[in-house]
Amino acid sequence: MNKPTESLLLPSDMQAWLAYLKAEKRYAQHTLISYEHDLKRLVQKNEAKAVKDYSETDLRLTLAHYHASGMQAKSLARMASCWRSFFHWWSIKNRTDINPAKNLKSPKTPHSLPKALSIEQAQVLLDTPAPDDETGIRDHAMFELLYSCGLRLSELTSLDCYYLKTPDYESESWLNLDEAEVTVKGKGQKTRILPVGSKAIEALKKWLLVRENFVKPQSGNALFLGVRGARITPRVVELQLKKYALQSNINIDMHPHIFRHSFASHILQSSQDLRAVQELLGHANISTTQIYTKLDFQHLAKVYDQAHPRAKKK
């Protein structure tokens, strides 16, 4: 059995583990960045401690420290998951049974329901006239597509105008306007094909007519472009949506993921087909999708309260 590395989280160890997660586990870049921060927090709180000298108590005390400093339960749970993954990888790499995180439990996180627009709110928001300029045309197309397909923000910004394959590049996510569908590569590098509704197609056609006015050498095949011609960033989408929501007088703190929640909730209300919603959202586990049944129940309960003769409040 090889002797374990004595030093704590050497840069080479950290980078090797992150490279493993990226190449083998297909983790998203934002997850890798979060995990790197989580490992650095462990180092900061346990300075000069060798990996082999860690105990589960050390990890628990570190979690308690960050909890006391105000870190939210969801972030603490992710941090514990990060440490479990790292120490498991390290123990296998070094052929040792030393793994202080083996039985480390994640803090319980509150199960809050996702916020979703009502059908009426979604219609008001998307029917609000966009600013009569090319940026407004682009924004309206993005928001129609988010709601039409239930896309994650990262999936929206990664879309290409069409499938393209060259010696140096191959599209992973793209629009097929003729077939009225998008192909997206989501979490876990899983590809799914989604239909695009007529309202979104109409908005996309308008955008594609003016997209060429944004094109610069760095534009490539990106569907949605920023004002400087590069592929639009998630942050720009978030900021533009907040402006759009204010203009339409929607009294809700809008962010792009609300369209995804609204898409799922409204499809479930109409179809009652949980499995179909799971496939459309790209959830690996149906238990992730089941939270939308609670939103659906809230909607049904509201209808009941308004309609049932013995439920109406005097």
Q: Determine, yes or no, domain membership for 196.
A: yes
Which residue stretches of 24-118 are H helix?
Answer: 29-45, 56-68, 73-93
Q: What's the number of CA atoms in the CB half-sphere (13 Å) around residue 128?
A: 20
The reply to whether 237 and 282 lie within a common domain is: yes
Q: What is the pLDDT of residue 43?
A: 82
Q: What is the pLDDT of residue 4?
A: 37
Report residue 171 as tokens. Answer: 């599209």
CA 310 to chain centre: 42
Q: Give yes or no for a contact between 288 and 294, defined as CB atoms under 8 angstroms apart.
A: no
Residues 97-113 have a mean pLDDT of 81
The CA angle 194-197-200, to the nearest 5 degrees, is: 105
Pick from 11-20, 86-95, 103-112, 240-249: least confident: 103-112
The catalytically annotated residue of 138, 260, 261, 266 is 260
Q: What is the CATH classification number for the domain harbouring 86?
A: 1.10.150.130
304 belongs to the catalytic site: no
The reply to whether 210 and 300 lie within a common domain is: yes
Q: Determine, yes or no, domain membership for 100.
A: no
User: Is the predicted pLDDT of residue 305 greater than 70, yes or no?
Assistant: no
User: Is the predicted pLDDT of residue 109 greater than 80, yes or no?
Assistant: no
Residues 182-193 have a mean pLDDT of 87
Q: Give yes or no for a contact between 41 and 88, defined as CB atoms under 8 angstroms apart.
A: no
Q: Give yes or no for a contact between 9 and 51, defined as CB atoms under 8 angstroms apart.
A: yes
The catalytically annotated residue of 52, 93, 187, 299 is 187
pLDDT digits (tens, 9 = 90+) for 157-185: 999 999 999 999 999 999 999 999 999 98
The catalytically annotated residue of 152, 185, 211, 261 is 152
Q: Determine, yes or no, domain membership for 313.
A: no
The reply to whether 288 and 231 lie within a common domain is: yes
% of the chain surpassing 70 pLDDT: 86
The reply to whether 80 and 166 lie within a common domain is: no
95 belongs to the catalytic site: no
The reply to whether 145 and 277 lie within a common domain is: yes
140 belongs to the catalytic site: no
Q: Which domain holds residue 49?
A: 12-94
Q: What is the mean pLDDT of the chain?
A: 85
CA 122 to chain centre: 20
235 belongs to the catalytic site: no
